[in-house]
Amino acid sequence: MKLIERDILRAIRKNLKAPDTIVIHGARQVGKTSVLKMLESEISKAGIPVCYIDLEDRRMLELMDRGPNDLIVYLEQTGRLKNDRLVLLIDEIQYLKDPSNLIKILRDHHSERIKLIVSGSSSFDIKRKFSDSLVGRTINFELYSLNFREFLKFKNIDIDLEHPVTSMPLINQLKKLFSEFVLYGGYPRVILETEIEAKESYLSQILSTYVRKDIRDLANIRDIDKFNKLLEVLASQCGQMVNVAELAGTTHLSRPTIEQYLFLLESTYVIRLIKPFSRNIRSELFKTPKVFFLDTGLAQLLWLKSFQKTVQGNVLENAVFCELIKQQKKTEIRYWRTQDGKEIDFIIKSGTNILPIEVKLSGSRFNATAIRYFSQHYHPSSSICMTLDNNMKPIDNLIFKYPWEVPSCE
C-alpha cells in the first residue's frame, strides 16, 4: 500500500527523543502499520538503529511473552541492540499476555538504550491489559481513517487547504471530492480502489471480519443477531440522540447489555458518543448523548446495505464530526439542545472558548433561530454554518464555511 504522510506523524516526531513509550491506538485497517513502517524508514535513513516487530508473527509473540529479558537477549544476539539507542517498533501489542510489564520494564530500566513505539487495534483490549502502573510512562495517540486533507494526498490531488480556496473551479472540484469522501469514507484501501463495487466489497469485509467477528469475540458476545441489529439501528440514527430504552425495545436487549455494547463499540473505534453542552455539570452527566460513526462509508453500509449516490444531511453532519475529531486538538465536542427543541449540531469547547457549529446541505435552508438564541445566552465570539452549497453572506456573527474548512476553537 502506498505510504503517505499522515498528520499524526508530526506529533509523534516531536516525542521521539522522550523516554516515554509512544502508544498508537486505532481500529484495524486505518493505517497504523503504515505509520510504523514510515517511521522505520525515516529513522533508518537518519542513521539511527531501528527494529520493527509484528506480533501477528507467532514466533515473536511467544518470544516476547516470555518477558522483557528474553526480548533484550534476542535484540543483542541478532545485532540490533548495540551501543546506540535502538528505536523499537512493535505492531499489535494487544496480543501480548502482559504488555504493561514489557512497557514498564523497558521504560524504567532500558529507556537509555531503547525507545519504544507500539500500536494496538483495540483500546478496549489495551485498557483491559494495561495497568495503572503505566501512568506517566506512555504518550498516547489516536489514529483514525483518513481526514479529507489526507484523502486528497492519497488521490494525488495537490490543493492547499491551509489557506482559503477562492477559485470557483477549485471549489467545485472540492465539492465533488468531499462528496465522494463522505459517501465512501476514509479507509485507505477504500480510497485507493477505483471501482465502487471494490470499495463496497472491501468495507463489507471489514464489517464481517472486524466490526462483527473481532468485536464479538473480544467481548464474548453470544447473541450475534441482536448485536448486529443494534449496529444497524445505531447506523440509521447517526447524528441523533441515543435513547437506550428505545434501543432496548427495538433490539430486545436489556439496557445494561446495550450500555455495555455502546462502551465496547466506542472502545473499538466504531462509534463515538458526544454529550450535550451545558454550564451545569450535573445536567452534562445525565442528559442523552448523540451517536456518530467514525467512518461514514461503514455507517452507510450498515444502515442502507450499499453506498448512496447523493450525500444525505445526517451523513454530512457525521462527516463534519469526523473531521473535527481527527484534528487531534485538545478540544471537546458537544451538542446543544433545549427543552423546546432548539438545537445546534456541535459546540466546540477549548478552555473558556466556545464555538457553535451547524451543518446543512444547503446554506439557503439554514434557520438562524437556535444560533441567535445560543449567542444571546453564551456570547461566543463567532458561529459557523458548514455547508456544501455555500453561497451565503455572513449574518451577524455567523460565518458560512465549506465542510473542508475545519474550524478550530483554540
CATH of the domain at 29: 3.40.50.300
Which comes out higher in pLDDT, residue 46 or 393? 46
pLDDT surpassing 60 at residue 2: no
Is there a domain that residue 408 lies in?
no
Report the pLDDT value the prediction gives residue 409, as an integer from 0 to 100.
56
Report the pLDDT value the prediction gives residue 123, as an integer from 0 to 100.
56
Which comes out higher in pLDDT, residue 371 or 280? 371
DSSP line for 347-395: EEEETTEEEEEEEEEEGGG---HHHHHHHHHH--S-EEEEEEE-----B
Q: What is the C-alpha separation between 21 and 308, in angstroms, rounded?
A: 42
Mean pLDDT across the stretch 333-357? 92
Summarised one tens digit per residue, pLDDT across range 23-68 is 998 888 899 999 999 999 999 999 999 999 999 999 999 999 999 9
Q: Are residues 255 and 177 in the same domain?
A: yes
Domain boundary among 128, 143, 158: 143
CB 349 within 8 A of CB 372: no
Q: What is the C-alpha separation between 143 and 31, in angstroms, rounded?
A: 8
Report the pLDDT value the prediction gives residue 394, as an integer from 0 to 100.
67
Three-state DSSP class for 315? Answer: helix
CB 126 within 8 A of CB 120: yes
Mean pLDDT across the stretch 168-183? 95
Q: Are residues 244 and 275 in the same domain?
A: yes
pLDDT surpassing 60 at residue 277: yes
Q: Are residues 348 and 213 in the same domain?
A: yes
CB 1 within 8 A of CB 191: no
Apex CA 232: angle with CA 229 and CA 233, to 5°? 85
pLDDT surpassing 70 at residue 127: no
Report the pLDDT value the prediction gives residue 351, as an integer from 0 to 100.
85
CB 121 within 8 A of CB 3: no
Is there a domain that residue 410 lies in?
no
Report the pLDDT value the prediction gives residue 391, as an integer from 0 to 100.
65
Q: What is the C-alpha separation between 248 and 254, in angstroms, rounded?
A: 6
Is there a domain that residue 162 lies in?
yes
Domain boundary among 143, 178, 201: 143
Q: Are residues 77 and 205 in the same domain?
A: no
Q: What is the mean pLDDT of the chain?
A: 89
pLDDT band at 86 (very low <50, low <70, confident <90, very high): very high
Q: In the chain, how many domains are there?
A: 2
Give the whole-number percent of the chain exceeding pLDDT 70.
92
pLDDT surpassing 90 at residue 334: yes
CB 96 within 8 A of CB 106: no
Q: Are residues 161 and 27 in the same domain?
A: no
Q: Are residues 129 and 267 in the same domain?
A: no
Mean pLDDT across the stretch 375-386? 91
Three-state DSSP class for 400? Answer: strand
Summarised one tens digit per residue, pLDDT across range 194-205 is 999 999 999 999
Report the pLDDT value the prediction gives residue 184, as an integer from 0 to 100.
95
CB 127 within 8 A of CB 267: yes
Q: Are residues 100 and 206 in the same domain?
A: no
Is there a domain that residue 47 lies in?
yes
Sign of the alpha-carbon dihedral angle for 369, 373, 374, 379: positive
Q: What is the C-alpha separation between 232 and 301, in angstroms, rounded?
A: 9
Q: Are residues 200 and 330 in the same domain?
A: yes
Q: Are residues 74 and 216 in the same domain?
A: no
Most confident option among 1-15, 100-114, 132-146, 271-285: 100-114
Q: Are residues 184 and 53 in the same domain?
A: no
Three-state DSSP class for 100? Answer: helix
Residue 170 CA: distances (Å) to CA of 147, 175, 176, 276, 389:
19, 9, 10, 36, 14
The model's pTM:
0.90
Cell 444571546 belongs to residue: 376
Q: What is the C-alpha separation between 75 and 77, in angstroms, rounded?
A: 6
Is there a domain that residue 409 lies in?
no
pLDDT surpassing 70 at residue 128: no
Which comes out higher in pLDDT, residue 130 or 372? 372
Report the pLDDT value the prediction gives residue 124, as an integer from 0 to 100.
59
Is there a domain that residue 247 lies in?
yes
Q: Are residues 221 and 348 in the same domain?
A: yes
pLDDT surpassing 90 at residue 374: yes
Summarised one tens digit per residue, pLDDT across range 219-250 is 778 788 898 899 999 999 999 999 999 999 99
Which comes out higher in pLDDT, residue 323 or 280? 323
Q: Are residues 165 and 251 in the same domain?
A: yes
pLDDT band at 285 (very low <50, low <70, confident <90, very high): low
Which comes out higher in pLDDT, residue 111 or 365? 111
Out of 211-220, 319-328, 356-365, least confident range? 211-220
Is there a domain that residue 236 lies in?
yes
Report the pLDDT value the prediction gives residue 1, as an integer from 0 to 100.
52
Domain boundary among 116, 143, 170: 143
User: Exposed e or buried b for every residue in 161-193, given b needs 16+ CB within 10 A?
Assistant: eeeebeeeeeeeebbebbbebbbbbbbbbbbeb
Q: Residue 320: give the domain boundaries.
A: 150-401
Mean pLDDT across the stretch 140-149? 94
Is there a domain that residue 109 lies in?
yes
